[in-house]
């Protein structure tokens, strides 16, 4: 099962973004289909209305600061490659109509491949406002710029009984993190049969790996290499967590939704046990280690590798205990959970600040030569 990738962006120029994902600019990836639940003119009106409301909002608008209105929001959603075999226009219409029916707002979406056809994904842009037709209860007078004015100065008139189309206030649920975490992500993980990341206090998230090119600076290439190394360590850690969870029947009973059946992902050959040793190991060693990792912040990438080494030592100590008990050689050499936790506290972590050397420069030159050969 593929792992879900879903990200949300705020859009300050929704019309320009729609033109981009639709391929009007000629800079887009390989587009398969485009679908919108409302015409382009309504998207332009929505953008204009949001800008006007933003300027009237004294809390949000500040002439001395660079700020702009959020005209709409965009979801970027990875979908499994088998959906590429379906009719893309039918799929786009199905996803767009389903969004409007479920969440109540208009949207437009484009289905793309990336240039190398390794990433099949959807760009879904949605409005936070709903446009409703209302009946005017009295005559309203406007000047040539459609601003309210007195009857004597009126150029445009909306008469009593006329149908007026207006945008409602923004639905505040769309800007809440809980909407993404508890509603959108689980919904699309189920719809497209994707593995949903669950923040259970044990698993870690991977970071996005940005592309590098011949014009990238040395600092950017070094950052890219660090992220690649960090994601590799994250996968190692998550595999180790999965193996421990699989061999912890007590934890699976307590957290049935957090458990996925896996088979020796970390290749550590952890022996099964009827005791609650693995459950205690999770609570006393692994969860505190993840908490310490999150507190590192600036040096969390370097800390993760250190954390894996320390927890592996503690896990190996636990495995040795199982072997001793199984062979009945000794019961006095048993290592308590306090000892496991103590192993992770040895050798306090001190991040090493590397200075730029000739090796770093040669590494950069190697990257450049690789690009030139391509």
- Residue 99 belongs to a domain with what CATH number? 3.30.930
Cα 282 from Cα 244, distance rounded (Å): 8
> Is residue 369 in some structural domain?
no
Give, for 73, the enclosing helix (H) or strand (E): strand 72-78
What per-residue confidence (pLDDT) applies to 144? 81
45, 158: one domain: no
11, 45: one domain: yes
Class of residue 39 by CB neighbours under 10 A (exposed 0-12, middle 13-18, buried 19+): exposed
159, 142: one domain: yes
> Is residue 181 in some structural domain?
yes
228, 163: one domain: no
Q: Which of 169, 173, 184, 180 is nearest to 130 (CA)?
A: 169
What per-residue confidence (pLDDT) applies to 204? 87
Distances in whole angstroms, Cα of residue 233 to Cα of each of 76, 162, 247, 301: 25, 64, 22, 9
308, 222: one domain: yes
> Is residue 68 in some structural domain?
yes
To the nearest 10 degrees (0 to 180), the angle between helices 40-56 and 14-22 is 150
Contacts of 320 (CB under 8 A, 6+ apart): 335
What per-residue confidence (pLDDT) applies to 300? 77
> Is residue 360 in some structural domain?
no
> Is residue 99 in some structural domain?
yes
Cα 357 from Cα 39, distance rounded (Å): 57
175, 238: one domain: no
To the nearest 10 degrees (0 to 180), the angle between helices 287-296 and 337-345 is 20
Structural domain span for residue 271: 218-345
> Is residue 202 in some structural domain?
no
245, 276: one domain: yes
Cα 318 from Cα 339, distance rounded (Å): 10
> Is residue 361 in some structural domain?
no
249, 184: one domain: no
Tell me the Ramachandran region of residue 80: left when phi exceeds 0, alpha when psi lies from -120 to 50, beta otherwise.
Answer: beta
31, 139: one domain: no
Q: In order along the chain (374 residues), what is the average pLDDT of each group of 10 residues?
A: 84 93 78 93 90 74 68 93 93 95 94 87 94 82 83 86 81 90 91 82 82 82 87 88 76 48 57 69 84 79 84 80 61 51 60 50 43 40
242, 329: one domain: yes
106, 136: one domain: no
77, 226: one domain: no
> Is residue 366 in some structural domain?
no
Total structural domains within the chain? 3
Q: Which tokens belong to 336?
A: 């308590």
Q: Which tokens belong to 222?
A: 């070094």
What per-residue confidence (pLDDT) applies to 92? 95
For the entire predicted model, the pTM comes to 0.66
């Amino acid at each position: 099962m593929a792992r879900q990738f879903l990200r949300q962006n705020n859009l300050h120029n929704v019309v320009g973004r729609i033109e981009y994902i639709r391929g009007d600019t000629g800079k887009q990836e390989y587009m398969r289909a485009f679908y919108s639940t409302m015409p382009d003119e309504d998207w332009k009106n929505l953008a204009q209305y949001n800008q006007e409301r933003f300027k009237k909002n004294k809390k949000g608008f500040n002439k001395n600061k660079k700020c702009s209105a959020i005209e709409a929001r965009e979801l970027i959603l990875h979908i499994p490659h088998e959906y590429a075999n379906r009719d893309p226009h039918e799929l786009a219409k199905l996803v767009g109509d389903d969004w409007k029916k479920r969440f109540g707002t208009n949207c437009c979406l484009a289905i793309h491949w990336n240039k190398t056809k390794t990433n099949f994904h959807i760009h879904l842009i949605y409005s936070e406002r709903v446009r409703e037709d209302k009946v005017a209860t009295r005559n309203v007078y406007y000047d040539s710029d459609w601003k309210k004015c007195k009857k004597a100065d009126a150029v445009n008139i909306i008469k009593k009984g006329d149908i007026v189309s207006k945008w409602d206030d923004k639905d505040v649920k769309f800007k809440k993190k809980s909407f993404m975490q508890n509603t959108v992500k689980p919904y699309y993980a189920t719809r497209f049969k994707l593995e949903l990341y669950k923040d259970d206090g044990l698993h870690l998230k991977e970071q996005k790996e940005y592309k590098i090119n011949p014009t990238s600076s040395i600092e950017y290439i070094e950052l890219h290499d660090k992220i690649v190394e960090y994601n590799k360590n994250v996968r190692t850690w998550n595999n180790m967590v999965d193996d421990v969870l699989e061999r912890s029947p007590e934890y699976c009973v307590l957290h049935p939704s957090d458990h996925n059946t896996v088979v020796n992902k970390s290749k550590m050959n952890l022996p099964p046990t009827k005791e609650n040793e693995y459950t205690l190991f999770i609570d006393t060693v692994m969860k505190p280690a993840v908490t310490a990792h999150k507190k590192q912040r600036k040096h969390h990438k370097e800390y993760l590798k250190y954390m894996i080494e320390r927890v592996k030592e503690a896990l190996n100590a636990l495995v040795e205990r199982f072997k001793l008990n199984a062979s009945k050689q000794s019961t006095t050499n048993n290592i308590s959970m306090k000892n496991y936790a103590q192993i992770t506290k040895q050798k306090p972590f001190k991040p090493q600040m590397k200075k730029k050397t000739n090796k770093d420069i040669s590494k950069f030159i190697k990257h450049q030569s690789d690009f030139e050969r391509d």
